[in-house]
Structure 1
Amino acid sequence: MTIQDEFDKICHKIASEAFALYSEYPDTTIFRNKPSSEQNPNDEDYCNRAIGMEMYISFVANTKGCLYRNIEDSINAEFNEYGSIEEPTIYKSINGKVITEANFDFENRFFTIMEDLHEVLTHLNNKK
């Protein structure tokens, strides 16, 4: 495949970054630093419930039309009932033990790739 235009360059860049990330972290998932959830799933106290990472990391095929708007409104209404949102978290103890290296390199790179991919897909969708 030859790169013929700016769009091809962007797609090649995103694919190269995704492959590099996968090569560096072959067995890693986006949930590697998911905070442990100690809350009761039957807890009716909405203020203490958190939006889990698995609830907001997702993809949709199309963001146009009445069906998408209805789903989006429903999801936003549901999320408004929660008191917080889970984010990747690293806990480090400070009890004198050697602290192992922990960072958000994977997450930062992953979400940057997802944002770039979103822009490309939005651009394609707008061309239709």
Structure 2
Amino acid sequence: MPYPLNIIQDFNRLKKQLESREAALELVFLQEEERRCLVTVKTFDTGRTLFYLPVSPLYALLKSRKQKAFADLLLSVMAYLYQITGVPHFREDYVYLEGIYGMIEEWVTDDDYSEDKQERQFMTDHFEMMYARGDYTLGRMSAKKEVMEFEERVRRFKAKTQTETDLLDCANKLVALQRDYPDRSVMERMRPPIETDYDDGYIRAEQYLCFYWSGVDCLQDHLFDTVNAELNEYGVIEEPVSIQFFESRQEYPLHDMDYERRLFEILHGLSDVLYDLEHGEPNG
């Protein structure tokens, strides 16, 4: 084939060979400013799951003071995920869920939503409560001491129930992850999908990974209906990726997704713990 068709032919042949060996590995010609080279890209599949972690169980435990050791351990887990891992909180400015909650608030407190003034007032009061308690949890999760005391709280904690055992398991795995990958953030290797038409948009990491208020309150259906309707418009998603550059000879593959695999396993486990806590007694 004449140049440059021979380059395209060789690229497509290599791409097919690589994908036949490992479906998750992709060959891409990358151009970034002055850098132009072949790269292999491995993407961690998040399963297109909404990792929304409710903070209402944490608020209830911190205020009850009946299970202080359990509350402190949960606080340290969530504080680490917020401060170090980089999971955003819905009460931060410009976070996706902050905007979604604001949009729902305008809708359900408008006169056109319901002619019942008592219902509209109930919704107004609920938002005031949610914002105040959300600010409280954000303040507690932002405190540096909650992360500094994390390992000590894990060491001292004695689980008595299945939920406490499950939380301790998540905490132990998170401590081990911290030791192996100190100060690592899940956002570090998040990249927009390669070869994406940005005009069509894509699902950003903060849109599916965030702390929110509650999954059992009066806003649950509004929240998830709104989020699902918006995110279903996008065909691609921002996920953690590993990139190996071939500007020089590479002796072996360098795609290690161990951190992401272990972290998302922890997030699944923590989601189950928070679900059990929310459905054990009413919140909001």
* Residue pairs, 1:75-94, within 5 angstroms: 75-94=227-246
Matches of 1:58 and 1:3 in 2, distance apart? 27
Structure (1/2) with the larger helix percentage:
2
Alpha-carbon distance in structure 2 between the residues aligned to 1:61 and 1:14: 21
Pick one of 118, 122, 125 that aligns with 2:271.
118
Q: Which moved more, 1:116-125 or 1:51-60?
A: 51-60
Q: Distance in 1 between matches of 2:226 and 2:248?
A: 48
Q: Which letter maps to 1:51?
A: I
1:21 partner amino acid: L
Tell which structure's C-alpha radius of gyration is larger. 2
**Is 1:59–2:215 an aligned residue pair?**
no
Tell me how large the CA RMSD over aligned residues is.
2.5
CA 1:111 to 1:96, structure 2 compared with 1: closer, same or farther past 3 Å? same
1:21-41 CA-partner distances (Å, limit 9, x unpaired): 1121112110222125789xx
- Segments of 5+ residues of structure 2 without an aligned counterpart are 1-156
Runs of 4+ in 1 over 4 A off after TM superposition: 36-39
**Aligned partner of 2:170: which letter?**
I
Count of residues paired in the alignment: 123
Of the structure 1 ranges 53-62 and 4-13, higher mean CA displacement relative to structure 2 is found in 4-13
Does residue 1:104 correspond to 2:266, yes or no? no
Paired position in structure 2 for 1:19: 175
- Match for 1:7: what amino acid? T
TM-score (norm 2): 0.39
Alignment partner, residue 72 of structure 2: none
Identify which of structures 1 and 2 has the higher relative contact order when contacts are C-alpha pairs closer than 8 Å and 6+ apart. Answer: 1
- Listed as ranges, the gaps of 5+ residues in structure 1 are none
Cα distance between partner residues in 1 of 2:158 and 2:183: 31
Q: CA deviation at 1:80?
A: 1.9
Of Structure 1 and Structure 2, the greater strand share is in 2
Percent identity over the alignment is 28
Does structure 1 retain, via aligned residues, the 8 Å contact 2:216–2:278? Answer: no
- Decide whether the 8 Å contact of 2:192 with 2:239 is kept in 1: no
For 1:3 and 1:66, the matched residues in 2 are separated by: 32
* TM-score for the superposition, normalised by structure 1: 0.80
